């Protein structure tokens, strides 16, 4: 049964209505399924939300220049990153606390990802224990938020290794949470009883004296540093990927330390407002790393054409954050699967119309920038 009477807090659909055809349709619908403060938590970003808007607008500044009459009969969306093959380049970004959006949370997202052949990046803040994800599905990476010290961080990585996760993504762009005014205005708080099997919601802060600074002497003491990344690389057999890198000098430094790939991201505009848009940062970073160094990108992907543009500018794959959660909120696993299917089909058709048979064929020659 599809509930249509109330316009707020609708129960999740068990079948997909015809009027949901695009990610924008899902966005509008998701709002109807969520409590108001959860909606603002999902949609919002840091401060004036310039980066949230710019993440969407960045794609509109790039135009497509199709090639015609190419033979596409052997076409494929398959990609390879760090020796791992993926059926297509659309991954699920790490999103914490997914039971806020649907009772089955990450378990539902994981099921959808498996069915659609999407690589899922599981957040440290998952409500679903990583041991519940299918061990023999290779399309899963684990995202680490630094646990305040090396021992606890490494313990989580070792658990991920035992569960056959294929890479470790360390998110490094948020040693402090963003100043999210919208969230504060609606008093958003995580439910007190919410379970996080792998991490406390707040890492205990070191004690500081009255004359010390809470940010610099407190929080920054338990924030990860480059030496910690080196330590992790030395202690795991999994490839380490850093998420949230925007500066070319950080990209070079990461590469020199043995980081195996980067996710170019401004955290969906949620951490530092007016931070550079991911597409610009991608181009800056692409210019200083070896051609085959994996650069992934997230932020603002809402259409198959956006995916094409990111790949044309040098991304190996993209991740979607909010779109997957719109799907989850609207119809659980079915909704996430439909969102992935929409983007995958849009991307395939874009490839066909652009005259590119394989992902490797996609490059800068197919786009024009203002």
267 binds ligand FMN (CB under 6 A): yes
Q: Which residue is associated with the tokens 């190996």?
A: 316
329 binds ligand FMN (CB under 6 A): no
Euclidean distance between CA atoms 104 and 96, whole angstroms: 13
* 3-state class (DSSP) for residue 75: coil
105 binds ligand FMN (CB under 6 A): no
In the list 29, 38, 51, 55, the residue contacting ligand FMN (rule: CB under 6 A) is 55
Q: Among the options 33, 196, 267, 338, which is catalytic?
A: 267
Euclidean distance between CA atoms 223 and 93, whole angstroms: 22
34 binds ligand FMN (CB under 6 A): no
Cα Rg of the chain, angstroms: 20
Which residues 167-196 are close enough to bind ligand FMN by CB under 6 A? 171
In the list 89, 224, 261, 299, the residue contacting ligand FMN (rule: CB under 6 A) is 299
86 binds ligand FMN (CB under 6 A): no
Left if phi > 0, otherwise alpha if psi is -120 to 50, otherwise beta: which for 44? beta
Is 267 labeled as catalytic in the residue annotation?
yes
* Distance in Å from the first CA to the final CA of the chain: 48
In the list 12, 178, 239, 300, the residue contacting ligand FMN (rule: CB under 6 A) is 300
224 binds ligand FMN (CB under 6 A): no
Q: Which residue is nearest to ligand FMN (CB)?
A: 321
94 binds ligand FMN (CB under 6 A): yes
Euclidean distance between CA atoms 263 and 173, whole angstroms: 11
Kindly state the helix (H) or strand (E) to which residue 243 belongs, with its residue range: strand 240-243
What torsion do the CA atoms of 325, 299, 304, 340 make, to the nearest 10 degrees?
Answer: -20
User: Residue 215 gets which letter from DSSP?
Assistant: I
326 binds ligand FMN (CB under 6 A): no
Tokens of 238: 């999994």
Which residues 234-263 are close enough to bind ligand FMN by CB under 6 A? 243
Q: How far is the CB of 267 from ligand FMN (least distance, A)?
A: 5
What residues are annotated to the active site?
267
Report the interface residues with ligand FMN, using CB under 6 A. Answer: 42, 55, 93-96, 123, 125, 143, 171, 243, 265, 267-268, 270, 298-301, 320-322
């Amino acid at each position: 049964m599809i509930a249509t009477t109330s316009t707020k807090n609708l129960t999740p659909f068990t079948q997909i209505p015809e009027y949901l055809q695009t990610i924008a349709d899902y966005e509008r619908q998701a709002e109807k399924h969520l409590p108001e403060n959860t909606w603002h938590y999902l949609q919002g970003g840091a401060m004036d939300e310039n980066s949230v808007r710019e993440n969407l607008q960045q794609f509109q500044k790039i135009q497509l220049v199709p090639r015609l009459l190419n033979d596409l009969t052997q076409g494929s969306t398959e990609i390879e990153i760090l020796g791992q093959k993926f059926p297509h380049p659309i991954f699920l970004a790490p999103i914490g606390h997914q039971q806020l959006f649907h009772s089955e949370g990450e378990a539902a997202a994981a099921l959808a990802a498996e069915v659609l052949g999407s690589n899922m990046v599981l957040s440290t803040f998952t409500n679903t224990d990583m041991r519940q994800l299918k061990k023999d599905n290779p399309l899963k990476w684990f995202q680490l938020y630094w646990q305040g010290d090396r021992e606890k961080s490494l313990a989580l990585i070792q658990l991920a290794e035992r569960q056959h996760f294929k890479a470790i993504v360390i998110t490094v762009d948020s040693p402090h949470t963003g100043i999210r005014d919208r969230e504060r205005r609606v008093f958003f708080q995580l439910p007190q009883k919410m379970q996080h099997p792998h991490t406390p919601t707040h890492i205990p802060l070191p004690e500081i004296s009255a004359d010390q600074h809470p940010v610099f002497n407190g929080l920054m003491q338990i924030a990860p540093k480059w030496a910690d990344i080196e330590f992790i690389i030395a202690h795991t057999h999994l490839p380490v990927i850093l998420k949230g890198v925007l500066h070319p000098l950080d990209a070079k430094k990461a590469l020199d330390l043995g980081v195996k790939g980067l996710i170019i991201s401004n955290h969906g505009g949620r951490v530092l407002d007016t931070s550079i848009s991911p597409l610009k940062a991608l181009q800056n970073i692409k210019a200083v790393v070896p051609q085959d160094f994996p650069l992934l990108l997230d932020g603002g992907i809402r259409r198959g054409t956006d995916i094409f543009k990111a790949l044309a500018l040098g991304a190996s794959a993209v991740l979607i954050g909010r779109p997957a959660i719109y799907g989850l909120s609207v119809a659980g696993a079915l909704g996430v699967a439909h969102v992935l299917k929409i983007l995958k089909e849009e991307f395939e058709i874009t490839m066909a119309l652009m005259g590119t048979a394989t992902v490797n064929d996609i490059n800068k020659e197919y786009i024009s920038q203002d």
